Structure 1
Amino acid sequence: MARADSGRTGTGSGRTNGDVGGEGDVGGEGEGELPAYRLRRERELNSLYTTARSLTALGEVDEVLRSIVRHAHELIGSDFAYLSLLDEEGRLVVRASAGTISPEFSSARLPPGFGLGGRVIESKAPFWVSNYREAQALPHDPAFDLLVPREGLMALLGVPLLVGDEAIGALFAADRSERPFEKDEVALFSAFASHAAVALNNARLYEQTRSSLQRLTDAYRTIEDQVATMERAASVHEALTHVVLTGGGPGDIAQLLVEHLQGTVTVQDRDDIVLATRSPEGQRADSEGDLARSLREEARGTGRCATVRGEDGTFRSVVAVRAGGSHFGFLSLARRSPPEPADVRMLERSAQIMGLLILMRDARVEAEERVRGELLMELMSPAPLHPAQRDRALARGVDVDHLDTLVVADCPERSASDIVRHLKPLSARWSGLAGEYLGRATMLLRADDADAAAHALHQELGRTLGAPSLVVADRIVGQERARSFTLTQRCIKVLRALGEQDRGAATQRYGMYALVFDPDRTDDLHRFLEDELGTLLAYDRRRSTDLVTTAAAYFAHSGNLSRSARALHVHLNTLLKRLDRIGVLLGEDWRSPDAALRLHLALRLHELRAAVGGAG
């Protein structure tokens, strides 16, 4: 039989393949061999068409590749068969094989133009060699040649896989012994390769179509999801608008978000105080920790939603509530699943709406407080109240005729305006007015017990201010509000002189010091101090001595001479001489119980008068 490759030349074992025809050609067979030849050809053709039909029924590219090499292996009867396709760089890459031994051969790569495969691709025609290793006419690739002895490859036939005029790869039949490939084998293998190329191309087109369909399906689903997200966002926006128009608060926004986000929603003010917490039905709200506090700092710093997953698996998202350049608090979400981008946008939009609500509320409150502050100033004025002013107060739930108590609050660590900011919410509960008057945080209210009112307000301020404060109340007599104001602020100075730093009380509780802080009793105080201390004061002025200070230190230390001397920073003998001089001026009985009581009280009132600012 002829060793031919359809008119092309191959080299093997030092021999050259001839052209079609020659010894063993079909035309030279005897008449007795013709029926057998026809029968064999008929079986081969039937096998070819059966194989081709089976290939057309396959859809997956990898499945078609495996089926091609399996049928090629059976059809040509070679030791093994393999199929290589061209990659993007023009290399032939083995994609499927049957009957191979070496695992490395199953993924072999052949550079463009090398080996028998390169000849087949360039010529787009079949080519074979009886001994690949000795085929000197073929350019050999060193890497591929290392695989040849491992696989035992000897005779090799390659036919192109053509799609139209384009070669997409090659199909190979190989034997591990030297042999020629007959003309009929080459023709049969080429016909099979043609069918295989069509089936492979169809599989590729099917895969591309399916991929395109999947992309279209995914795109359609994405559009559906986007539409659903937009409808959901529109629904939330409509609900938020309704909250704004109906004057809703943080709790309404939190409940709205719970319905759409299915998690625990918490609203906090600028002082991190929880204003509202809402959770899905049957779900317990999680307590926050250091993680939530650090999240708040991040959200406030970036101005965007910050999310982190805690050790318990809960995702916490926090966004700062801002409006008009001011910070009003935080809006947070806690749930088991991570927030989607649409959820984050919903949180951020809700925080903006909440900021606007707070800004509107603060504007209303500020306007209301301004009116209340003006009312307070008008009430503190000695001029009679105009009926219109009385009506304005009644419209705000304040009956000026029943405001019978005046309160002054003082906190060294806070400004008067800051104290007023904390007093104003309390004034509504007391049906009163709060504001700043003559630099003091002042409040007019109605109370049955001034001392109890001062104590209650002191407790409230202590919780909100977080600092010690003095709160003094005075019962207003008639319309003498200005007099009550003077009494309360002077009483605060007396309390500080007495060492009080954190207390709430009425002026009546310190009635024994009324001589100091009551302006109406200034003359009484002056006469009492003149009677008891006049001689010592006059002596100190004339001689530039400190007898009054010495007497005060003596009583302050209960008559203990050593401690009194140390407090005055004088020698004990000096103290004794001063005490003797006091005895000469006041009389030797100045340390008797009654005289000592009057002198001690006078000295204390003299110190308090100086603290209040009335010393002459």
Structure 2
Amino acid sequence: MDALLAETDLPELAAARVGHELRRLRSTSDRWRRRGQELAALFSSARELAQLRDVDELLGRLVERAHDLVGTDVTYLSEFDADSQELRVRTTLGTVAPSFLGLRVPPGMGLASQVVEGRRPSWTSRYTTMTQVPHDSAIDAAVAAEGLVSLLGVPLLAGDEVIGVLFAANRVEHAFSPDEVSLLSAFADHAAIVLQTARLLARTQESADETRRAYGELARHVEAMERASEVHSDLTSLVLQGGEAPDVATALGRALRCDVELLDTGRLDPSLADAVDRSRRSGRCASAGDGSYAVAVLAGPALLGALLLTQGELEFGPVELRTAERAAQITALLKLKQDAMIEAEQRVRGDLLADMLSDDADRRAGLATRARARGIRLDELRSAVVVSVPAERRREAVRALRRNGGPVGEHADRVVALTADPDPGVAGARVHATVSRAVRVPVLAVGAGFAEAAGDLRGQVEAASACVRILPSLGLSDTAVTVDEYLPYTALFGPGEARVATYVRRVLGPVLDWDAEHAGKLLPTLAAYLAHRMSPVATARVLHLHKNTVLQRLERAAELLGADWQEPDRLFRITVAVRLVQLTKGP
């Protein structure tokens, strides 16, 4: 250009003026061309950003495009929280310090707060010397760790609302030009609109999704209520038409499209027993694992059974579980009705058993006829089982045994059951197993066979009762035995056992009197001596005494019993008497 001007005939002053204007026009042209490129990039970025819908992805792309447009070392975006009035760094590009992302700017602190409060761009060529706003030590530490020196912040505005601040920063001192501020501000204006739109679309989508979920939940609830209404109608019909408890499980399973099992209290494994116990305490369905639920069938505090629901094609929700709980109540009602009928029937059978064991001939009259009226053939009964359980559990034991069909009842503080088993050992084991499942406490059962119900039965029941009384003294608390297995004891403690006390008194009277008057230990010493093969050394060891002490006590016993007390016949009778005293006192 200067060469061309030199070839003209223009005066020097005019040529200089023309050259100045030409250079100004070129500078202006370059600036407008650069401005056009920036605007093209700006509009291109705006179009690209407008296509994004995911807010997190959009924030990242905003920072990336701003970084490309302005060309600073670091670009980041802080999101404004209208509730706390804080700014939090959401997205960065060009940072190296991990603590910078997520940095929180308290209200009124730093350059960011100046941008928010003024709703206009703010910048500083050297952050450390900025005095327009207060500094925060945490922010200063993060800026220093990142090595930032000059910062430019422009607001992201949606109407009058500030939704964030876009920052461009350099690690060297830099005076931001008006063009740089204008370019970043223009980009921020576009970005704010796009970001606000994306947020609104995201909220709209969330609302739509929530609406669909609500409609789906409403539809499921309506369907569940219809099923509950169907079950309620079926259960009402069952009650009115005389249905039974198992029919409830069938109706519930059909409505909920799942497997439902009615469990007896004696058919619960440990895991189910725990779930039923939790349901019993809460009155609600309790999880039994693997998608199954158990609900206790209760009549007041009494546990009558449980419903076990195994989930099928239909997922269990609150309505389904409440339906199961109502079904359990109907089951309890039907079981009570059924039990009342059985109770009435079995009460008659219990009275029949009492008549069979009575000494009154009038009560025994016509036993066979009355038994046949109840469906019982006395000539088929072969075993009697006497059961010892705590008094508060006898009713449960009787209820459990009544399912076997034979005469069952309480007699002389024991439970007595008659069965057709010809083997009293088998009968005792079956009765013991049935009662143990029902009462869940130690149970003693003694079986005895009999040939004729009218006469032999009473004697065998008395013998079995005597055996039950003596078993705890022998260290037995939970077992099933027969009378024949303990025949010597039943013979001694059977009918007429008052003679036993007379026998013991006649054989051991002097020893018993000595112990009573002197608080002595002669009888325990005799028992230990006889139990350990008449060895003074073994007796002393078991009683934790010196051998001489044992010998002295034995000498005293010899004085009281007579010098011939160790003769075979005397020794046998003394041994039996000592053992009888021990059994009478119990374990």
Distance 1:169 1:340 in 2: 43
Match of 1:564 among 552, 555, 569: 569
SS of the residue corresponding to residue 147 of structure 1 reads helix
SS of the residue corresponding to residue 452 of structure 2 reads strand
Match of 1:489 among 435, 441, 458: 458
SS of the residue corresponding to residue 174 of structure 1 reads strand
**1:93 alignment partner in structure 2:** 88
- Matched to 2:197, the amino acid is N
Distance 1:67 1:496 in 2: 93
SS of the residue corresponding to residue 106 of structure 1 reads coil
Question: 1:320 aligned to 2:296?
Answer: yes
**1:22 alignment partner in structure 2:** none
Match of 2:388 among 404, 413, 438: 413
Which stretch of structure 1 is more off in the superposition, 158-167 or 41-50?
A: 41-50
SS of the residue corresponding to residue 169 of structure 2 reads strand
Conserved in 1, the CA contact under 8 Å of 2:297 and 2:305? Answer: yes
**1:366 alignment partner in structure 2:** 343
Q: Following TM superposition, by how much is the alpha carbon of 1:468 offset from its aligned partner in structure 2, in angstroms?
A: 0.7
Conserved in 2, the CA contact under 8 Å of 1:408 and 1:489? Answer: no
Conserved in 2, the CA contact under 8 Å of 1:407 and 1:488? Answer: no
1:20-419 aligned at under 5 Å gives the runs 30-31=24-25, 33-87=27-81, 88-241=83-236, 243-244=238-239, 247=242, 249=244, 251-254=246-249, 267-270=262-265, 272-273=266-267, 288=269, 290-300=270-280, 303-307=283-287, 309=289, 314=290, 317-332=293-308, 341=318, 344-370=321-347, 411=386, 413=388
Q: Following TM superposition, by how much is the alpha carbon of 1:78 offset from its aligned partner in structure 2, in angstroms?
A: 3.0
Q: CA, structure 1 residues 360+33, in 2 after alignment: closer, same or farther (shift >3 Å)?
A: same
Distance 1:97 1:343 in 2: 51
Q: CA, structure 1 residues 254+60, in 2 after alignment: closer, same or farther (shift >3 Å)?
A: same
Distance 1:237 1:563 in 2: 81
Q: CA, structure 1 residues 424+45, in 2 after alignment: closer, same or farther (shift >3 Å)?
A: closer
Distance 2:185 2:135 in 1: 24
Distance 1:348 1:316 in 2: 14
Conserved in 1, the CA contact under 8 Å of 2:87 and 2:105? Answer: yes
Q: CA, structure 1 residues 427+100, in 2 after alignment: closer, same or farther (shift >3 Å)?
A: closer
- Matched to 1:413, the amino acid is S
Q: Following TM superposition, by how much is the alpha carbon of 1:59 offset from its aligned partner in structure 2, in angstroms?
A: 1.4
Distance 1:569 1:456 in 2: 37
Conserved in 2, the CA contact under 8 Å of 1:163 and 1:198? Answer: yes
Distance 2:448 2:140 in 1: 99
Q: Following TM superposition, by how much is the alpha carbon of 1:405 offset from its aligned partner in structure 2, in angstroms?
A: 8.7
Q: CA, structure 1 residues 42+252, in 2 after alignment: closer, same or farther (shift >3 Å)?
A: same
Distance 1:35 1:493 in 2: 128
SS of the residue corresponding to residue 157 of structure 1 reads strand
Q: Following TM superposition, by how much is the alpha carbon of 1:367 offset from its aligned partner in structure 2, in angstroms?
A: 2.8
Q: Following TM superposition, by how much is the alpha carbon of 1:52 offset from its aligned partner in structure 2, in angstroms?
A: 2.4
Q: CA, structure 1 residues 52+504, in 2 after alignment: closer, same or farther (shift >3 Å)?
A: same
Distance 2:319 2:134 in 1: 61
Q: Deviations over 1:568-590 (max 9, x none)?
A: 669xxxxxxxxxxxxxxxxxxxx
Q: CA, structure 1 residues 28+165, in 2 after alignment: closer, same or farther (shift >3 Å)?
A: farther
- Matched to 1:62, the amino acid is D
SS of the residue corresponding to residue 139 of structure 1 reads coil
- Matched to 1:564, the amino acid is D
In structure 1, runs of 5+ residues without a counterpart are 1-26, 275-287, 476-483, 506-516, 518-544, 547-559, 571-616
Identical residues among aligned pairs (%): 36
Q: Following TM superposition, by how much is the alpha carbon of 1:407 offset from its aligned partner in structure 2, in angstroms?
A: 9.0
Q: Deviations over 1:159-178 (max 9, x none)?
A: 22222122222222223333
Conserved in 1, the CA contact under 8 Å of 2:371 and 2:378? Answer: no
Higher relative helix content? 2
Conserved in 2, the CA contact under 8 Å of 1:321 and 1:328? Answer: yes
Distance 1:425 1:185 in 2: 96
Conserved in 2, the CA contact under 8 Å of 1:454 and 1:473? Answer: no
Which stretch of structure 1 is more off in the superposition, 256-265 or 227-236?
A: 256-265
Q: CA, structure 1 residues 110+472, in 2 after alignment: closer, same or farther (shift >3 Å)?
A: same
How many residue pairs match? The answer is 453
Conserved in 2, the CA contact under 8 Å of 1:435 and 1:441? Answer: yes
Q: Following TM superposition, by how much is the alpha carbon of 1:264 offset from its aligned partner in structure 2, in angstroms?
A: 7.1
Q: Deviations over 1:362-413 (max 9, x none)?
A: 1112233455667899999859999xxx9x998x5659xx877999957373
Q: Following TM superposition, by how much is the alpha carbon of 1:56 offset from its aligned partner in structure 2, in angstroms?
A: 2.1
Distance 2:401 2:112 in 1: 94
SS of the residue corresponding to residue 180 of structure 1 reads coil
Distance 2:273 2:364 in 1: 53
**2:452 alignment partner in structure 1:** 474
Q: Following TM superposition, by how much is the alpha carbon of 1:334 offset from its aligned partner in structure 2, in angstroms?
A: 6.5
Which stretch of structure 1 is more off in the superposition, 52-61 or 347-356?
A: 347-356
Q: Deviations over 1:185-207 (max 9, x none)?
A: 32232222211111111111112
Q: Following TM superposition, by how much is the alpha carbon of 1:420 offset from its aligned partner in structure 2, in angstroms?
A: 7.1
Say which one has the larger Rg.
Answer: 1
- Matched to 1:326, the amino acid is A
Conserved in 2, the CA contact under 8 Å of 1:406 and 1:442? Answer: no
**1:610 alignment partner in structure 2:** none
SS of the residue corresponding to residue 105 of structure 1 reads coil
Conserved in 2, the CA contact under 8 Å of 1:408 and 1:440? Answer: no
- Matched to 1:143, the amino acid is A
Conserved in 1, the CA contact under 8 Å of 2:383 and 2:423? Answer: no
Distance 1:265 1:153 in 2: 70
SS of the residue corresponding to residue 224 of structure 2 reads helix
Please, what is the CA RMSD of the aligned residues?
Answer: 5.2
Distance 2:135 2:182 in 1: 26
Distance 2:74 2:464 in 1: 109
TM-score normalised over the length of structure 2: 0.60
Q: Following TM superposition, by how much is the alpha carbon of 1:438 offset from its aligned partner in structure 2, in angstroms?
A: 11
Q: CA, structure 1 residues 162+434, in 2 after alignment: closer, same or farther (shift >3 Å)?
A: closer
- Matched to 2:61, the amino acid is S
Which stretch of structure 1 is more off in the superposition, 156-165 or 291-300?
A: 291-300
Q: Following TM superposition, by how much is the alpha carbon of 1:102 offset from its aligned partner in structure 2, in angstroms?
A: 3.3
